[in-house]
Amino acid sequence: MPFFNHNIMHIGLFGKRYDEAYSHHLQLLVATLEDRGVGIVVPESYYTLIEQYISFATQPRIVAGESLQPTDIDCLFSIGGDGTLLAAVRLVAEAGIPVLGLNFGHLGFLTTANPADIQGFVALFLQQQYTIETHSLMHVEVAHDGAAEHSYVMNEVSIHRHNNSSMLYTNVYINDEILATYNGDGLIVATPTGSTAYSLSCGGPVLAPSSKCFVITPVAVHNLTLRPIVVPDTSRIRLVTATNEMYLGRDSNSQLMSNQCEIIITKESFSAKVIRMKNKSFYSAIREKLMWGASYNS
């Protein structure tokens, strides 16, 4: 069954930047969608980047603000790499709108479409040759300076020491039971989606998107017996820092925290919907992007 429920499908186009190297592919995407009778909707922030370079046969609907609703679009096409897709998810996840990533970036682990065959991809998409993956999100509460800040992430929450002179000391609690005190450069709490990002580079395991768990991965930990640990996503993870200055990362956003803080991580009440074309899967992405099974024999 299709996920759209209008007589005319409306597709949103979203990107974080305009890249002249992919101008031809973006123009072809717009033309192909218009030829197929698809209504195009563009967030204002992205439209201002492309309006001088991309021609539309029909003026697209421009939407202001930082979120999109099902009344605006049926699906959001993310134009870029994985970082762009993370930003796209923040626009539509709460509304339950699926996101499809077109790899106009580099690694593109979450993206599913290649710009080399735009017309073929659009044809398969309109024939509903896709699956929709559900990706769990983490709700993040940060308490500092007597206030609490709430957000959600798709990949990970990370903390990292501010300078090279001292370690970051962090007490980690699972459901209010102390797990350990981590002394090192930092700590990562990742979703299954984020397990192939920062956590993986620090020795964390690869988790399938449907895994109902989170992974806690230390960064250059002083005690070598402290290894990554996988916990159920029903857990309440609490990080309490004993350092006055550190960097707090939420997906691709980072900020300097000047005082001690407490971070509470739980599973978000809603999830992200990510489209993969039927000839693509999480496991094919592992083989292609991480080169699992590749032979290096000359």
Task: Over range 40-49, report the average pLDDT.
Answer: 96
Q: Provide the residue range defining the domain that includes 225.
A: 137-270
Lowest pLDDT segment from 27-41, 103-117, 176-190, 205-219: 103-117
Of the candidates 222, 71, 254, 236, the one whose C-alpha atom is nearest the C-alpha of residue 155 is 254
Q: Are 139 and 266 in contact (CB under 8 A)?
A: yes
Name the residues annotated as catalytic.
82
Neighbour tally for 256: CB within 10 Å = 9
- Judge if 141 and 119 occupy the same domain: no
- Judge if 99 and 192 occupy the same domain: no
Please tell me which of 45-49, 114-118, 294-298 the model is most confident about, judged by mean pLDDT: 45-49
- Judge if 35 and 119 occupy the same domain: yes
- Judge if 190 and 256 occupy the same domain: yes
Question: Does residue 286 belong to any structural domain of this protein?
Answer: no
- Judge if 160 and 245 occupy the same domain: yes
Provide long-range contacts, Cβ within 8 A and 24+ apart, for 176-180: 176/236, 176/238, 179/216, 179/229, 180/226
Burial group, residue 192, by CB count within 10 angstroms (0-12, 13-18, 19+): buried
Q: Tokens 């990362």 sit at which residue?
A: 249
Q: What string of H, E and C letters represents the secondary structure of the chain?
A: CCCCCCCCCEEEEECCCCCHHHHHHHHHHHHHHHHCCCEEEEEHHHHHHHCCCCCCCCCCEEECCCCCCCCCCCEEEEEECHHHHHHHHHHHHHHCCCEEEEECCCCCCCCCECHHHHHHHHHHHHCCCEEEEEEEEEEEEEEECCEEEEEEECCEEEEEECCCCCCEEEEEEECCEEEEEEEEEEEEEECCHHHHCHHHHCCCCCCCCCCCEEEEEEEEECCCCCCCEEEECCCCEEEEECCCCEEEEECCEEEEECCCCEEEEEEEEEEEEEEEECCCCHHHHHHHHCCCCCCCCC
Domain CATH code at residue 164? 2.60.200.30
Higher per-residue pLDDT: 112 or 47: 47
Question: Does residue 276 belong to any structural domain of this protein?
Answer: no
- Judge if 109 and 141 occupy the same domain: no
Question: Does residue 291 belong to any structural domain of this protein?
Answer: no
Question: Does residue 295 belong to any structural domain of this protein?
Answer: no
pLDDT at 65: 84
- Domain final residue, candidates 81, 106, 128: 128
Give the model confidence (pLDDT) of 136-156 as tens digits: 999 999 998 788 999 999 999
**2: pLDDT strictly greater than 50:** no
- Judge if 150 and 169 occupy the same domain: yes
Question: Does residue 124 belong to any structural domain of this protein?
Answer: yes
pLDDT at 5: 47
Give the model confidence (pLDDT) of 66-80 as tens digits: 889 999 999 999 999
Domain CATH code at residue 75? 3.40.50.10330
**8: pLDDT strictly greater than 70:** yes
- Domain final residue, candidates 80, 98, 128: 128
- Judge if 66 and 169 occupy the same domain: no
Task: Give the count of domains, the chain.
Answer: 2
Q: Are 240 and 226 in contact (CB under 8 A)?
A: no
- Judge if 80 and 192 occupy the same domain: no
Question: Does residue 14 belong to any structural domain of this protein?
Answer: yes
Question: Does residue 3 belong to any structural domain of this protein?
Answer: no
- Judge if 178 and 248 occupy the same domain: yes
What is the end-to-end Cα distance of the chain in Å, rounded?
47
- Judge if 153 and 226 occupy the same domain: yes
Task: Over range 252-270, report the average pLDDT.
Answer: 91
Give the model confidence (pLDDT) of 271-292 as tens digits: 999 999 988 889 988 898 888 8
Higher per-residue pLDDT: 258 or 64: 64
Dihedral (Cα; 144, 147, 150, 155), 10-degree rounding: -10
- Judge if 109 and 149 occupy the same domain: no
Question: Does residue 170 belong to any structural domain of this protein?
Answer: yes
The rounded mean pLDDT for the chain is: 91
- Domain final residue, candidates 128, 159, 179: 128
pLDDT at 264: 98
